Amino acid sequence: MRRHLAPLILLASIVVLSACSNANAPAIQVTEAWARAPGSAQAGEPAATPTAESMAHGMARPTGAAYMRIRNTTSAPDQLLLAQSDVAQSTEIHTVEVKNGVMAMRPVDRIEIPAKGEVVLKPGGFHVMLIGLTKDLKPGDRFSLTLHFEKTGNIEIQVEVRQP
Amino acid sequence: MRSPAMKSVRFGLAVFVCCLALTACSREYTLRGSAITSPKAAPAFTLTDHNGQPFRLSAQQGRVVLVYFGFTSCPDACPTTLSNLARVRRDLGSDAARVQVVMVSLDPERDSAEVLRNYVTAFDATFLGLRGTPEELAPVLKAYGVAAIKRKLPDSALGYTIDHTIYTYVIDPAGRLRETFSPDAATADVASDVRYLIRTGDS
């Protein structure tokens, strides 16, 4: 009897372990990632060269925004803390609020993704702002964006550039 | 063999159809944005376009002018609006020639002519970005009731942002301010109104 127990325990452990590392359901799923990059250079035109004037104000390059659907499949909330991409000098998480027809954009520290829930980053709400685009982004282009979540860690996603 | 009763039913029907047709003809078109009840001349202004040319609103008579106040580092309402207005122009077909979309920059400090040109023409090659000195802009914003409040963002690479009114102002071919649209307005509604104003707004 004892002799049979050891392999059984081993088998059970393997089953439990593989359940834990089940790759079928990643903790965080990001889909429908797209970006708008208006003001990137026009087709056939070189990228905007910074002028003395624009340099003086630190805004030599245009900005863009990335949107996506973030789904949390776990039973604990997670937080999107940071985003990073080499297409922009700086990347921040922002939201916008409209009050009496006046829109205000504000950086946020984090976006909470509720347990078994989702948050959609979309025009009129949360977005990842790409400040100071270092690449000329044209509709159809794709670039990678790394999202840093408090619990899940880093997730690299591909973002499709759409017509502004 | 037609009975008199049948005849009167037919007559009644004919009258009914005529009435229907008449009501359809006399039905007033209702603007689909926030219409201004007694339209007046849109406040005049002269600013500088992104090509360095003066832009006089008064010189636009005969065209529908869609005026939006925004800035190029605006992440959301500005691109949404300009993107929708670009679609409106595409949907208008040949009528698009009688529409001018302008974005008045609320951030002349950062929006150089070049930055502004690259930005607005990314949406539609005919869009014009307008600039003015703070002294030139102030009376225009006041006249249109546009709020533009500069907010410092010490923790952001942007340094500052501008809280701002996000309406599109619709000026008819006779130069009257007729209505405003919010950024989430259906492009079909905007196109429908623009088409109506092109046909009727001259007088």
CA distance B33 to B167: 10
SS3 of residue A60 by DSSP: coil
CA distance B149 to B105: 13
Asked whether residue B113 is assigned to any structural domain, the reply reads yes
Counting the structural domains of chain B, the total is 1
> Which residue range is the domain that position B169 belongs to?
32-200
CA distance A23 to chain B (A): 36
Asked whether residue B23 is assigned to any structural domain, the reply reads no
Burial of A128 per CB tally in 10 Å (0-12, 13-18, 19+): buried
List per-block mean pLDDT (blocks of 10 residues) for chain B, which spans 203 residues: 63 62 66 95 97 97 97 89 95 96 95 93 96 96 96 92 96 97 94 96 71
* Whether the Cβ atoms of residue A34 and residue A161 lie closer than 8 Å to each other: yes
Structure tokens at A125: 């709400």
Domains and CATH numbers, chain A: 24-162 (2.60.40.1890)
Q: Which of A58, A94, A105 sits opposite B159 (nearest CB)?
A: A58
Structure tokens at A77: 């909330």
What pLDDT does B74 receive? 87
Asked whether residue B169 is assigned to any structural domain, the reply reads yes
What pLDDT does A61 receive? 76
DSSP letter string, B55-106: EEGGGGTTSEEEEEEE-TT--SHHHHHHHHHHHHHHHHGGGGGGEEEEEEES
B167 chain-A contacts, CB cut-off 8 A: 101
SS3 of residue A135 by DSSP: coil
Taking phi over 0 as left and psi of -120 to 50 as alpha, with beta for the rest, A127 belongs to beta
Percentage of chain A lying above the pLDDT 70 cut: 71
* Helix (H) and strand (E) counts in chain A: 2, 10
Q: How many CB atoms lie within 10 A of CB A82?
A: 17
CATH, residue B174 = 3.40.30.10
The amino acid at residue B92 is L
Q: How many CB atoms lie within 10 A of CB B72?
A: 25
Summarize pLDDT for A113-154 with one digit per residue, the tens: 999 999 999 988 999 999 999 988 889 999 999 999 999 999
CA distance B128 to B105: 10
* Whether the Cβ atoms of residue A113 and residue A77 lie closer than 8 Å to each other: yes
Summarize pLDDT for B41-60 with one digit per residue, the tens: 999 999 999 999 999 999 99
Asked whether residue B82 is assigned to any structural domain, the reply reads yes
Asked whether residue B8 is assigned to any structural domain, the reply reads no
* Whether the Cβ atoms of residue B132 and residue B47 lie closer than 8 Å to each other: yes
Asked whether residue B5 is assigned to any structural domain, the reply reads no
CB contact under 8 A, B161 and A57: no
> What's the complex ipTM?
0.78
A59 chain-B contacts, CB cut-off 8 A: 73, 110, 115
Among residues B61, B75, B135, B68, the alpha carbon closest in space to that of B103 is found at: B68
What pLDDT does B22 receive? 54
The neighbouring-strand residues paired with A154 are A148
Test mutation, A98, A100, A103, A130, chain B, max B CBs within 10 A: A103
Summarize pLDDT for A40-73 with one digit per residue, the tens: 544 334 344 444 444 434 455 788 999 999 999 9
What pLDDT does A116 receive? 97
Asked whether residue B115 is assigned to any structural domain, the reply reads yes
**Quick one: angle between helices B187-200 and B77-92, nearest 10?**
50
Asked whether residue B172 is assigned to any structural domain, the reply reads yes
